[in-house]
Structure 1
Amino acid sequence: MIINILMIIFGIVMLIISYYLYKHTNTPFIKIKPEYLTQYKLTTRFISILFLIAGIISLLTIVFNNKTFSIFALLFGSICAAYYAIFISNKFHI
């Protein structure tokens, strides 16, 4: 029961982050040099789609009630977040 509630929270957070990143593709939330702006837009849009997929998968795990599917959704969302954080920190020297 508690796992289902946490998966719902995780799915909603993933969907909110996906929406935020997709809406802010053209307006970066950090200072970016103009030569990196195109790469930022492409990566942010790609990651927002991956977060959307992770959110949908995590919400589908409630319906199927499969622990393996839940673990996959959590790992997929975490890997996407880690990739985006590493990309931002390497490209923009934060």
Structure 2
Amino acid sequence: MSMTELEQLVSPQGTIALVTIAQALHWLDLSSTFYKQVNWVLKKPHGVIASWCYTSPKVNDAVDALHDKLYSFDARPHWDPRRELLEDNYRNI
């Protein structure tokens, strides 16, 4: 998205106080586009990016063992590599 499109579709430069991303940051182009566009719309100097992701549920030992096997061993080899950021709770961004 160009900066002109960003201004037309989202907001003019420097007018957003908070950008939130729920369960999706790992799908965005973090290497170039995303941060450039967020920095463009955020208010200076106190604009905030808030991002969060889900974690695996914890129920009891028996249910957790089944879930962990399905989640970590059966399904994980088929996931997109970008999900590793999610699995690390976005610590390495």
TM-score calculated relative to the size of structure 2: 0.24
Q: Judging by fraction of residues, say which structure has more helix.
A: 1
> If you compute each CA radius of gyration, which structure gives the higher value, 1 or 2?
2
Q: Judging by fraction of residues, say which structure has more strand.
A: 2
* Structure ranking higher on relative contact order (CA contacts 8 Å, 6+ apart): 1
TM-score calculated relative to the size of structure 1: 0.24
